[in-house]
Amino acid sequence: MIEKFDPLKGKMLRILHPDGRCDEKLKPDLSDDTVQSFYREMVLIRQADQKALSLQRQGRLGTYAPVQGQEAAQVGSAHALGQNDWVFPSFREMGVCYMRGVSLKDIYVYWMGDERGQKVPEGVNVFPISIPVGSHPLHAVGAAWAAKLQGDGICAVAYFGDGGTSEGDFHEAMNFAGVFQTPTIFFCQNNQYAISVPRKIQTAANTLAQKAIAYGFGGIQVDGNDLFAVYAATKEAREKAAAGGGPTLIEAVTYRFGPHTTADDPTKYRSDEELEEWKPLDPLLRLQKYLQGKGLWGEDLEAQIKEEAENTINQAIQEAEGVPDPKPEEFFQYAFAEMTPNLKEQMDDLLAFLGEKGD
C-alpha cells in the first residue's frame, strides 16, 4: 500500500472520510469492539489533555504541550506497533506514551515538574521524551540498528513534528537508516505549525513524506486525523521493518487545535477561519460518526465513556499530587552514575545552607 501513495504527488492515504464513510477495501482488520475501544482511548486522551491545561492555569502543573487534534495519529500508530517495539517520543506525545504503557500518573508527575515522571517502568519500551526538537530520531535509529544486529525482530519509532524535519539530526538519522536499512519508523505529525512557523515555510518540498526518497526508502503521507489510515500505514511499515525491509517515513497530516504550549497565544499567528476549516476534520468526530453508523455510538454511551475517563484522570491526578517532593540532594545525584567532585561540593554547600536556614 505504501508504494501506491507517491508522496511526490502529495497523494494522501485516507480510509475514514470526515462524514464517517469508510473505504472498506482499505480498512484495517480491526473488530468493531477494538475500534470502539480505540475511540474510548481517544476520548480519554482528549480529556486528560484538557485537564492538563486547566491544571496549568490553576498553577498545579508546569508548561504543557497539548495534544488536542492529534489523537488519531497517536492512538492509531501506537496500537499498530508490536509489544516489544521501542518508542522515542517528543514532548507532544501524551497519547503515545499512555498507549504504550506509561501511566497517566507518571505523565502528570513529569509535567508537574518532577523528572521522576520520566522513569519508565521496566518492560515499558518508551524512551524519556525529547525536548530538543528532532534530536531523538538518531536515538531511534541507534536502537533499531542494535535490534537488527541482535536479530530481535522489533522496530523503533521516532515521533517528531513538521519542524523536526528541518533539523540536521533528522537528516543524519534518515541517511543512516537508509544506508544500514535499520528497522525504524520515522513518524512525523505534521500539525501545520512549529510554534508560529507555518508548514509552508518550513520547507519548499511539496510533502514532508517525500524526504524519504532522497534517503532511498519509502515515505507515505496519510490523513493523520483518520484512525484507520494511520493504523494501516504504521502496521505495514512496522511489519516491513521487523521483517528486515528497512525504514519508512510516515507523514501524518493533522492540526494542532490548541496552542503550541500553555505559554503560547496562537491567535497571534493563525486565523479563526483556519481553525474553523479544520474543525470538521476532528479525529474524534469522524470516528464517532463511523461508530454511530454501525450502531456503536450514542449519547448515553458517550456520557458513560466521558465519566469513566474523568474518574481515571482524577485518580491519576490525585496520585500525582500525592507524590512527595524530591529531596534537595537529588538535584545533584543523578546526572552521572557517580557524582563528580564539583557536584558533590555543590550538594554539600546546599545541604549546609539548608541546615542553617531551614527549608
Mind telling me the catalytic residues?
Answer: 256, 260, 269
- Select the residue interacting with ligand TPP from 173, 194, 233, 309 (CB under 6 A): 194
Task: CB nearer to Mg ion: give 85 or 162.
Answer: 162
Give the SS3 label for residue 187: strand
| Span near ligand TPP by CB under 6 A; candidates 144-152, 159-167, 209-217, 239-247 | 159-167
Alpha-carbon distances, residue 33 vs 30, 36, 37, 79, 291 (angstroms): 8, 5, 6, 14, 10
CA distance linking residue 52 with residue 317, whole number of Å: 9
CA distance linking residue 139 with residue 88, whole number of Å: 8
The residue whose Cβ lies closest to ligand TPP is 161
- What is the total count of residues that contact Mg ion (CB under 5 A)? 4
CA distance linking residue 80 with residue 231, whole number of Å: 6
Burial of 32 (0-12, 13-18, 19+ CB in 10 A): exposed
Residue 51, all three cell numbers: 485537564
Q: Does residue 164 bind ligand TPP (CB under 6 A)?
A: yes
The residue whose Cβ lies closest to Mg ion is 161
| Span near ligand TPP by CB under 6 A; candidates 121-129, 177-185, 189-197, 289-297 | 189-197
Kind and range of the H or E run holding 156: strand 156-161
- Cβ partners under 8 Å of residue 156, min gap 6: 85, 86, 87, 88, 140, 141, 143, 144, 147, 182, 183, 184, 185
Q: Does residue 168 bind ligand TPP (CB under 6 A)?
A: no
- Cβ partners under 8 Å of residue 42, min gap 6: 71, 72, 75, 95, 227, 283, 284, 287
Task: CB nearer to ligand TPP: give 131 or 149.
Answer: 131
Task: CB nearer to Mg ion: give 2 or 194.
Answer: 194
Instruction: Lay out the site mask for ligand TPP across 101-140 (x = CB under 6 A, - = otherwise).
Output: ------------------------------xxx-------
Task: CB nearer to ligand TPP: give 176 or 193.
Answer: 193
Pairing label, strands 197-198, 193-194: antiparallel
> Smallest distance, Å, CB 70 to ligand TPP?
8
Alpha-carbon distances, residue 340 vs 19, 116, 327, 334, 352 (angstroms): 60, 21, 19, 11, 18
Give the SS3 label for residue 220: strand
| Span near Mg ion by CB under 5 A; candidates 83-91, 186-194, 208-216, 292-300 | 186-194
> Smallest distance, Å, CB 165 to ligand TPP?
7
CA 303 to chain centre: 26
Task: CB nearer to Mg ion: give 194 or 287.
Answer: 194
Residues in 243-272 that interact with ligand TPP by CB under 6 A = 256, 260
Q: What are phi and psi of 198, to 5 degrees?
A: -75, 155
Q: Does residue 162 bind ligand TPP (CB under 6 A)?
A: yes
> Smallest distance, Å, CB 275 to ligand TPP?
15
Task: CB nearer to Mg ion: give 191 or 288.
Answer: 191
- Select the residue interacting with Mg ion from 7, 137, 161, 178 (CB under 5 A): 161
Interface with ligand TPP by CB under 6 A: which residues?
92, 131-133, 160-164, 191, 193-195, 256, 260
Interface with Mg ion by CB under 5 A: which residues?
161-162, 191, 194
